[in-house]
Amino acid sequence: MELTKPWSYSALTAFETCPKRYQITRVTKQIVEPQTEATRWGNKVHKALEQYAKGEKPLPPDLEEYGRYVRKIQAIEGRRVVEQRVALTKDFRQTKWMAKDGWVRGIIDIGVVGSETAYLLDWKTGKHRPDSDQLKLFAALAFAMYPWIDNVVTGFIWLKVEKFDKEKFSREQLTDIWNDFMPRLNRLAIAYDGDKWLPKPSGLCKNWCPVGRNLCEFCGGQ
């Protein structure tokens, strides 16, 4: 079964973490995901680095140490990209961010696009959790966005722990990248088609789920 609904990597992982929570927060939208201290800090960092990379504002004193990453990236020769929004149609063609034919969406935090290779990076403000699949998706989006490039280097910069994860992809891998996602997208499509969103109990239910006990028996909240 093919997925016709628009998706992003964060949406896909949210579904896989718990289909029921996904339904309540993203489909029926009965509950809004609450802002946590970690998400507020992450949003602050992303916005500050975006403005700094665009030359709009200096970094605030508590974030100045991260400026060196921006300067190092932007020293690479090529076209600079900052907070680049990418949306593709079902046939992998570029479209406008909120266009009705948008099928997959992603945001590139910072990067440089050269004549043959693109270097695209994502700021991470949480714990170090490598995820090669997200890097694969960045590469697939980049190959559609920049049809002249043959290679993409994608990576995560983990700001708190000062770690750097990266992978390199060639255009020859593009079909395999999309094929790797299809089984996961098919499971999401089946949930939409049957309107079946089963809860996935875990250690997150008791203290970290906003859904509420009135909507899910496993939730520890009210």
pLDDT, tens digit, 9 for 90 and up, residues 117-130 = 999 999 999 999 98
Q: How many residues does the chain have?
A: 222
DSSP annotation of 100? T
Q: Give percent of the chain with pLDDT exceeding 70.
A: 99
DSSP annotation of 34? P
What is the predicted pLDDT for the residue at 98?
Answer: 93
Per-residue confidence band for 89, with pLDDT thresholds at 50, 70 and 90:
very high
| Two structure tokens written together for 124 | 């991470």
* CA–CA separation, 185 and 135 (whole Å): 17
Helix (H) or strand (E) holding 7: strand 7-8
Which of 9, 38, 50, 1 lies closest to 136, judged by CA? Answer: 9
DSSP annotation of 104? E
* CA–CA separation, 39 and 42 (whole Å): 5
86 φ/ψ angles, rounded to the nearest 5 degrees = -125, 130
> Model-level pTM?
0.92
What is the predicted pLDDT for the residue at 18?
Answer: 95
What is the predicted pLDDT for the residue at 78?
Answer: 97
CA 25 to centroid of chain Cα atoms: 17
Which of 203, 211, 133, 188 lies closest to 19, judged by CA? Answer: 188
Helix (H) or strand (E) holding 38: helix 37-53
Cβ count within 10 A of residue 164: 12
What is the predicted pLDDT for the residue at 220?
Answer: 66
**Mean pLDDT, the chain, whole residue set:** 94
Cβ count within 10 A of residue 199: 19
Question: Three-class SS of residue 165?
Answer: strand
* CA–CA separation, 86 and 60 (whole Å): 28
Q: Within 13 Å, how many C-alpha atoms sit on residue 185's CB side?
A: 19
